[in-house]
Amino acid sequence: MDFDTQVRASVYDATFREGTPPRIAAVASELGAAPDEVREAFKRLAAGRALVLQSDDEILMANPFSAVPTPFTVVAGGRSYYGNCIWDALGIPAMMRIDAVIDTSCADCGTGARVEVIGGAVRGEGFMHFAVRAREWWKDIVYN
């Protein structure tokens, strides 16, 4: 397994365990690598759209997970995670193959909303609106 693949696997393993993507130092420690090696791997992974980085090269998004709080809280397997959007919030239980509860709110009026994913089926009231077509997400992935 090449180094970038090891870094990516370490990122997702830690995210599953801890609820948020790890920092450079934690991945370096886990892999016995220099922090600068991990930083460069993060940059390559970001160039390949596997990660989205903050200005300091730390992870902002390891899709579908967010490293920062968002309006899309996912509780699965006794842990809380943040999705970057409703699509990503639904992607977390799909990726983990686990039941989940997603708490969010209407972006228009602020009314709370709960979506459950049980046995792969989505349950809840209301509707989900995807304002940007999927093919356009990467034009500005942070704000779309």
Chunked into runs of 10 residues, the chain (144 residues) has average pLDDT values of 96 96 98 98 96 96 95 96 93 96 88 93 80 70 59
pTM value is: 0.86
pLDDT at 89: 95
pLDDT at 59: 98
How many angstroms separate the CA atoms of 138 and 61, rounded?
A: 13
115 burial level (CB within 10 Å; 0-12, 13-18, 19+) = buried
pLDDT at 111: 87
Dihedral of CA atoms 94, 14, 30, 7 in degrees, nearest 10, equals 40
pLDDT at 106: 81
pLDDT at 17: 95
Spell out the domains of the chain, with CATH numbers in brackets.
3-62 (1.10.10.10), 73-139 (no CATH)
pLDDT at 144: 47
Question: To 5 degrees, how large is the angle CA 15–CA 18–CA 23?
Answer: 65
Cis amide linkage into residue 22, ω under 30° from 0? no
| In contact, 27 and 36? CB cutoff 8 Å | no
